[in-house]
Amino acid sequence: MTAYKRILTIQDISCVGQCSLTVAQPIISACGVEACILPSAVLSNHTGADFHGFTFRDLTEDMPGIAAKWEREKIYFDAIYTGYLGSIRQIALVKAMMEKLLNPGGLRIVDPAMADNGALYTGFDLAFVREMAALCGEADYILPNLTEACLLTDTPYHEGLWEETEVKALLKKLAALGAKHVILKGISYEEGRIGNAVYDCARGELRYDFTLRVPRSSHGTGDCFAAAFTGAMMRGKSAFEASKLAARFVVASIRATEDDKEHWYGVKFELALPLLTEALSVPLFELDGSRIASLEDFYAEIDRVLTDGSEKTGHNLSALDDILRGGFGKHAYGQQIRLRWNHFEESAEALGEATVFRLLRVILDRETGHDCKLEI
């Protein structure tokens, strides 16, 4: 069982607008992780132009005292995740907290929330960018969008599609800052698709995850992504798995909002929280359909994915039902599971329509005692 974790997230509170701490705390909590907060400022609403201004109270002077109190109380964290920081001094304070308040092995996760669409946010300058680059250099994971990545590395930014060679060069520049892992958000190599590059800087390993682009621009989606990513990491997901889950959570949040023209100030992420809780509480097992060219291959794949190999299982529909019910080393008897059948069309063609129908009828039949949700 994954240990219960405690996160500290440091960013502003925009009281209305579904961004920063107002999304980070509920999303992290929905992931099953304790979410502690340190507000860097309080705003009446976020700084989007359609709000026609905002009130602002800087909390920089409060931050050192709060951190010192936690240190005296021996309150430590398994990760510190930063979002919008309002000044160079706040960056320095965050560095000090990361040194003093993290448990051994605790993660430093930095979302350099300072720019988008080719421009810095109001109030930031290149001196701030340089200090943010230094903070990123001390992080385990950084989550810049393309604009932020270009600013951090003094790389020319351009709109539209990017070449893969450009993205790889940008990732190497980000790695040179010192970060251990980079999750570069918002890349697109083809029309209609958008995604993230997940780069292990030490190993030079690069993986991509793409989704369909939803034709709607929304405030706060970067904050939703970062919070879901951090929560998933704390629940034991790999950086790639966490990035993939966070991206789908954001897409679901946008989809829940896209038909509501009055809801322009953020996304209805609350309606997508069940996606997170299910993904993190119900184990997922993945069949590789590219390995299935016959019925015997299918049963062998079921054995590989859902059993530990300690018992001999029958290769028939009755045995399949027993294995789905659990107790063969991978999930408990009667435990709910998710089964994802990758490359389904390829394997379905090999198996034939009649055989696939019989297999799906067993997999989807919950009356026999198993609780399996199939994803294709």
What does the pLDDT read at residue 2? 58
* Domain ranges across the chain: 6-281, 284-375
Domain 284-375 has CATH 3.30.370.10: yes
Structure tokens of 185? 């958000």
Question: Same fold for the domain at 6-281 and the one at 284-375?
Answer: no
CATH topology of domain 6-281: UDP-N-acetylmuramoyl-L-alanine:D-glutamate ligase (3.40.1190)
What pLDDT, on the 0 to 100 scale, is given for residue 226? 98
Please tell me the distance from the alpha carbon of residue 231 to that of residue 32, in angstroms, as a whole number.
8
Q: For position 368, what pLDDT does the model report?
A: 75
Residue 98: per-residue pLDDT? 98
> Tell me, what's the pLDDT at 3?
79
**Model pLDDT, residue 47:** 86
List the chain residues with pLDDT less than 50: 1
Q: How far apart are CA 297 and CA 141, in angstroms?
A: 39
Q: What is the pLDDT of residue 182?
A: 98
Which residue has tokens 């385990």?
Answer: 140
CA distance 191 to 82: 32
